[in-house]
Amino acid sequence: MTRTMADDRRPLDASWLHRQRRHFRLWRRFLGQAVVRETHYRAHFATTLLVGLVELGLGVVPILLLFGFAQEVQGWSRAEVITLVGVYQIVTGLMAAFVAPNLQRMTSYITEGELDGVLLRPVSSQFYLTLRWINVAELSNVASGIAVLVIGLVQSGASPNAAQVLQAFVLAACGLVLLATVWSALAFLAFWLQSVGPIAYIYLNLVEAGRYPLAFFPVAVRAFLTFAFPVAFASTYPAQALAGDLGWTPVAGGVALVVVAVTLVRLLWRRGLRTYASASS
């Protein structure tokens, strides 16, 4: 066949590490622009903050009522469940700030051909599609989550040591990544289903289960919330780690699950892209 030629240029990334650095720099630009944008919409920030606070309060209502009728449920005290709600609020707040705004756009990316504009860029398309848009105002929910977490810890009198804090941190990070992969997987179904708006809605309702300890559910549901829809890593496990009831085994399990989930989503993404590139016109 006929060969072609191009200008001599230094490669875009000299190494794998350079490539990651370029992507990180790009992400920092996303964040910077989102912050600037948010300052133009102060009303939006105020509304998000207020709605977030009310929703947080509302989420605590069933728990407060529940512990009005019982001192302890399945070995969980009220203060421990409040700690758990704090962790849940932080993780879901991070999701809402960094991941959710992107996956909500998947439908329009695919049906309106905006994906073409992304595929033409010399960046990882999955990275771009998952992290391009940031809703800074949602970070206020992370702040309120931290406050709730502290209240819960103080009330329960827990004094986690460094190892336990590390465990909780790693578990919560696993929870964040796992939730993001689950949502990505649901969003990537848009390659085949065209519209995934309602599916995102299922996610938002299912994730509510994370407001309660795993132990509050029947065994089958616990397995579902650990492995299939792993919201347990975003609330129950980190809260248990902070209470000191958890060893390193669940942490290792969480990391292993992350590896599996990320690999699967990566495969799904490749399959989807393949479908897109051979079917779109």
Partner 1 sequence: MSTVVRNLRVLRRMTAAQIVGASIYRGAWTIFMVANICVPIISLLIWRTAIANGARLPIDERYVTTYFVLLSFVTMATSSWMTGFLAEYIRLGRLSSWMVRPASVLLSFVANNLSEKVLKLIALVPMIGVLWWIFRDSMNIPAGPGRWTVFAVSIVLGAILVFTIDLLIGSLAFWMDDVTALAQARLIIASVLSGAVVPLALMPDWSRGFIDNQPFRFTVSFPVEIVAGNLSGQELLVGLGIQAGYVVVLGILARLVWSAGLRAYSAVGA
Partner 2 sequence: MTNTFEASSRRLPVIAATGLTKTYTFHKQQAGLAGALRSLVRRTYETRLAVDEITFTIDRGEVVGLLGPNGAGKTTTLKLLSGLLYVTSGELEVLGFTPSDRKHDYLRRIALVMGQKTMLWWDVPAMETLLLHKDMYGLGAKEFDRNVAELAELLEVQDLLNVQVRKVSLGERMKLELMAALVHGPEILFLDEPTIGLDVVAKARVRTFLAEVNKLRGTTILVTSHDMDDIEALCSRVMIIDDGRLQYDGGLDELVHAARPRKLVRATYASEVDGSRLAAGEGVTGVDTDGLTITLEVDRERAGDVLGQLTRIGPLVDLDVADADIEEIMRDLFLRRGTLGDA
- Residues that bind partner 2 in the complex, under the rule CB under 8 A: 1-9, 11-13, 19, 22, 25-26, 28-30, 33, 37, 113-114, 116-117, 119-123, 274, 277-281
Minimum gap (Å) between residue 213 Cβ and partner 1: 10
Q: Which is nearer to partner 1, 133 or 212 (CB)?
A: 212
Among 11, 68, 122, 157, the residue binding partner 1 under the rule CB under 8 A is 68
Q: Name, in order, each residue with C-beta under 8 angstroms of 80's C-beta and a sequence gap of 6 or more.
A: 152, 156, 158, 213, 239, 243
CA-to-CA distance for 141 and 89, rounded, in angstroms? Answer: 7
Distances (CA, A) of 198 to 93, 94, 175, 178: 21, 22, 23, 20
Distances (CA, A) of 155 to 57, 81, 149, 158: 17, 11, 10, 8
CA-to-CA distance for 48 and 162, rounded, in angstroms? Answer: 34
Minimum gap (Å) between residue 56 Cβ and partner 2: 29
Q: Which listed option, partner 2, partner 1, none, makes contact with residue 120 (CB within 5 to 8 Å by class)?
A: partner 2
Among 12, 36, 51, 165, the residue binding partner 1 under the rule CB under 8 A is 51
61 sits near partner 1 (criterion: CB under 8 A): yes
Q: Which listed option, partner 1, partner 2, none, makes contact with residue 72 (CB within 5 to 8 Å by class)?
A: partner 1
Hey, is 150 helix, strand or coil?
Answer: helix
Residues contacting partner 1: total by CB under 8 A: 31
Query: Segment 104-163, which members bind partner 1 (CB under 8 A)?
Result: none
H helices, E strands: number in the chain: 14, 2
